Amino acid sequence: MATVNRDTYVAIFLLLFCGVFIDATFDIREPDYGVLMPSTWPRVILAVMTVLSMIYLIQSLKAGPSNPDCSTERSPGFVGFFVYWRNPIICFVMFFFFLWSLPFLGMLIGGVSFVFLLMCMLGGWQPRQLAVHALVAVFAVGGMWSLFTFGLEVMLPEGRIYNPYAS
Amino acid sequence: MIEYLLDAFLNFSLAFEGLWTWETMSLMALGVAAGLIAGAIPGFTIAMAVVLTLPFTFSMPPEQGVATMVSVMVGGLSGGLMAGILTGIPGTPSSVATTFDGFPMARAGRPGLALGLGVWSSFFGGIFSAICLMTLAPQLARVGLEFQPWDFFMLVIFALTITASLAGKNLIKGLIAGALGLLIRTIGEDEAVGMPRFNFGTEVLLAGFDFIAVLIGLFAFSQLLSDVRDPALARKSLSQQGTVKVRIDHIGALREIAHRWVVVIRSATIGVFTGILPGAGGSVANILAYDQAKKASRTPDEFGNGASEGIIAPESSNNAVEGGALITLIGLGIPGDVTAAVMLGALLIHDVVPSPSFISDEPVLVYSIFTAFFIATFMMIFLQSFMLKFFVQITKIRMYMLASVILGFCGIGVFALNNVTFDLWSLLWFGILGFLMRQFGFPLAPMILGVVLGNIAELNLARALAITPELTPFFSRPWALFFLIIAIFSAAFPLFQAHRGKKIWTLLYMPFACFAVSTPLVMMGGVTRPMIACTIVGYGIWTLFKRWQSDWELERVEAKKPRYTEG
């Protein structure tokens, strides 16, 4: 797999990205007033970005294949990838579930659950840790929720679990 | 002149009167304390601390909100030294150089003196910077009033180019990041004629991405994920790295600084000018100041083994940086770095749009920023000793716990921006994007500045083309040409650095830069600017003459220290 530099993949992705966005600029409606058309500025940026991405691609191809032994300390394969990036992946997935469950659980219950579960997944599930994580989650998120709800009077999502009529 | 001084005094009194309330002073003290702690925790940057403070300031009057954020910023600038000196791990990228001598001095049994030197150098650097902010920002705003849309457009291009060029050998990546930031800002209805762009048929994208949600995602969210990447380090607490029980030696430090006041002034000047330069923050200034202090020292061999100048220089410079960054924000409406970009966001939330007329339109608010900078610097001195005890407690907390709680806080804070769940999704997607960009070596600062400055560039381009469809003013107006020339030379700077000492053409870079920059200065007319241009041309000719005298001998280049550009 180490036939090309990883920057090459990024450069190709960027070129594809530019292509999609250049195509999307043709969907922008052009009004018959104004001097600078709404699509002009994005097209200028995309033209510059395409040229830069091509230079980046050429640079990455010139640099040759990356050496997998010295690029990272992770083991090869899918398992190695998951082990190396385990914590960020957990954070992304947990935050995704937090947002997905927000309309149902609301900010308080959802936030406390998110912080508690994230701490347990990153730090461990020992009984003492569970107690510490629960306390930290309740006091930190609860405190912040109270500050925003009562102190700053921000309407944070209640969640249908608490209020069935909540949006 | 007298009228100007009277105006300044009146505005200063009004601003002081507005801030001198129990509520504002308490919030500022809390802000400085929070900044000190945030700055002391490795991985938690000052920009992150200021970003997280932003949602709390929504319900405050603009003066109070901005004063609180300035306090967090000042606290954060000084907090980094605690971790750096006591544990050897810099709290923020802007205190990296402090650890070079601070940690050895602490290990040699003088941690109190090391902390004292850091604290008082930060104080004097901050005061110097506040004075520069108060005196230079109004002058820069006067110059800014000469700017027309073509000049503003070129100023934004210059800001992005120089920020990207600071990425060193990753110039292309820096430029791509800047362009991506500009592109992100175009999503949603365009500000000139209100047509939807890149919404891909969805309604949620019509309003575009909230700039603060993007900022928190790109910067704070992605930083937290990078901090917990290593499972072993994520479970470690900071107190396992070194000793943290100490008392600050104020008297000894003041005595030492009094002997080395030249180092303070020189380093603070470096800090202010690095701050004025868009994109070059404290992370660059502290290394530059350390390097200069070492070169100027009579005992350069002591550097790295606990030299007091090695602490004074980086700490004076990094505290002076934000004053510099605020000069361009207040004078021109262009943020000098990520932290200033967040400050710009805070002002925009309060319907205040910084521009060259900002000082004349909102004098009390501007002087509140100046005053808050001063007061927060004094508060920092008193709170530093007290917060040292808190820092000891904080160091016992494990990294993964801090990251989890702060991710939760980010969620609540971002929702509070507009009470829209879409902002939280933006936070997640931009968090992922920021994390990937960090992993692939793309600098985030140009992208953040691209997001912040995108609409300024587009609006000024639209205004310029509305005045005349001709493109020549972009190259023929003195200020536009000035920014274009320095943008080109700053873009070529990484190439110059890479080939310096190896290729003959590098000997011509500086003289040619001088000749090129002097052209628009002469075009500006008047007396002062052509005189400055003549001086610059004279310097260019002298450099060329010296090189010709030395038979075009290539310069000797010293081995460089690692660069720290993010933060």
Q: What is the per-residue DSSP string for B220-250? A: IIHHHHHHTSSHHHHT-BGGGSS-------H
Burial of B500 (0-12, 13-18, 19+ CB in 10 A): middle
pLDDT at A64 over 80: no
For residue A132, the model assigns a pLDDT of: 94
Residue B219: DSSP 8-state: I
Q: Which chain A residues have a beta carbon less than 8 Å from that of B181?
A: none
Interface of B with A in 412-431 (CB under 8 A): 412, 415-416, 419, 421, 424-425, 428, 431
Q: What angle do CA B407, B408, B412 make, to 5 degrees?
A: 115
Dihedral of alpha carbons B180, B184, B186, B191, sign: negative
Q: Are A95 and B425 a contacting pair at CB < 8 A?
A: no
* Residue B480: HSE in the Cβ half-sphere, 13 Å Cα cutoff: 17
Smallest CA–CA separation between B487 and chain A, in Å?
15
- Residue to mutate among A32, A87, A102, A126, with most B CBs inside 10 A, is A87
Smallest CA–CA separation between A67 and chain B, in Å?
15
Q: Crossing angle of helices B282-296/B309-332, nearest 10°? A: 140
Question: How far, in Å, CA of B313 to CA of B168, rounded?
Answer: 23
Q: Which chain A residues have a beta carbon less than 8 Å from that of B430?
A: none
Closest CA to B372 of B6, B32, B8: B32
Q: Are B408 and A144 a contacting pair at CB < 8 A?
A: yes
As beta bridge partners, residue B237 has: B398
Q: Which chain A residues have a beta carbon less than 8 Å from that of B200?
A: 24
Could you tell me the two tokens for B206?
């019509």
Sketch the domain layout of chain B as residue ranges: 2-148+211-390, 468-549
Closest CA to B11 of B430, B359, B517: B359
Q: Judge contact between A101 and B424, C-beta under 8 A.
A: no
Task: Convert the pLDDT of each residue in A101-136 to its tens digit.
Answer: 999 999 999 999 999 999 999 998 999 999 999 999
ipTM of the complex as predicted? 0.91
Residue B440, chain A, CB below 8 Å: the answer is yes
* Residue in B235, B400, B458 nearest the CB of A41: B458
Assign B98 a pLDDT band (cuts: 50, 70, 90).
Answer: confident
Question: How far, in Å, CA of B390 to CA of B237, rounded?
Answer: 14
Q: What is the CA radius of gyration of chain A?
A: 24
What percent of chain B shows pLDDT beyond 90?
Answer: 26
Could you tell me the two tokens for B310?
């090695």
Q: Are B231 and A133 a contacting pair at CB < 8 A?
A: no
Q: Which chain A residues have a beta carbon less than 8 Å from that of B182?
A: 45
pLDDT at B503 over 60: yes
Residue B198, chain A, CB below 8 Å: the answer is yes
Question: How far, in Å, CA of B16 to CA of A135, rounded?
Answer: 42
Residue B182, chain A, CB below 8 Å: the answer is yes
Mean pLDDT, rounded, for A39-66: 91
Q: Are B412 and A145 a contacting pair at CB < 8 A?
A: yes
Q: Which chain B residues have a beta carbon less than 8 Å from that of A152?
A: 55-56, 58-59, 416
What percent of chain A shows pLDDT beyond 90?
Answer: 58
Q: Return the residue matching tokens 């990546």.
A: B173
Assign A166 a pLDDT band (cuts: 50, 70, 90).
Answer: low
Task: Convert the pLDDT of each residue in B48-93 to its tens digit.
Answer: 788 788 878 877 888 888 899 899 988 888 887 887 787 777 777 7
Residue of A nearest to B200 (CA): A24
Assign B490 a pLDDT band (cuts: 50, 70, 90).
Answer: confident
pLDDT at B498 over 90: no
Interface of A with B in 108-137 (CB under 8 A): 111, 114-115, 118-119, 122-124, 133, 136-137
Residue of A nearest to B401 (CA): A119
Q: Judge contact between B289 and B97, C-beta under 8 A.
A: yes
For residue A26, the model assigns a pLDDT of: 92
For residue B245, the model assigns a pLDDT of: 60
Question: How far, in Å, CA of B103 to CA of B109, rounded?
Answer: 10
Q: Are B183 and A52 a contacting pair at CB < 8 A?
A: no
Q: Are B412 and A111 a contacting pair at CB < 8 A?
A: yes
Mean pLDDT, rounded, for A26-30: 88
pLDDT at B403 over 80: yes
Could you give the 3-state DSSP secondary structure of residue B188? strand
Assign A34 a pLDDT band (cuts: 50, 70, 90).
Answer: low
Which residue type, as a one-letter code, is found at position A59?
Q
Q: Which chain A residues have a beta carbon less than 8 Å from that of B55?
A: 148, 152
- Residue to mutate among A14, A40, A85, A91, with most B CBs inside 10 A, is A91
Residue B56: DSSP 8-state: G
pLDDT at A23 over 90: yes
* Residue in B176, B401, B412 nearest the CB of A156: B412
State phi, psi for B565 to the nearest 5 degrees.
Answer: -105, -20
Question: How far, in Å, CA of B50 to CA of B146, rounded?
Answer: 32
Assign B567 a pLDDT band (cuts: 50, 70, 90).
Answer: very low
Mean pLDDT, rounded, for B432-443: 90
Task: Convert the pLDDT of each residue in B123-138 to its tens digit.
Answer: 999 899 989 988 888 8
* Residue B267: HSE in the Cβ half-sphere, 13 Å Cα cutoff: 41
Task: Convert the pLDDT of each residue in B179-207 to its tens digit.
Answer: 999 999 999 988 777 889 998 888 888 88
Q: Are B407 and A136 a contacting pair at CB < 8 A?
A: no
Closest CA to B495 of B157, B175, B153, B97: B175
Q: Are A49 and B400 a contacting pair at CB < 8 A?
A: no
Total beta-carbon pairs less than 8 A apart between chain A and chain B: 172
Residue of A nearest to B184 (CA): A42
Q: Are B229 and A85 a contacting pair at CB < 8 A?
A: yes
Whether the full predicted model's pTM is greater than 0.90, yes or no, is no
Closest CA to B55 of A102, A112, A153: A153
* Residue B386: HSE in the Cβ half-sphere, 13 Å Cα cutoff: 11
Which residue type, as a one-letter code, is found at position B173?
K
Q: B117 Cβ partners below 8 Å, 6+ apart?
A: B102, B253, B256, B257, B308, B311, B312, B315
* Residue A147: HSE in the Cβ half-sphere, 13 Å Cα cutoff: 15
As beta bridge partners, residue B398 has: B237
Question: How far, in Å, CA of B404 to CA of B549, rounded?
Answer: 62
State phi, psi for B196 to the nearest 5 degrees.
Answer: -70, 140
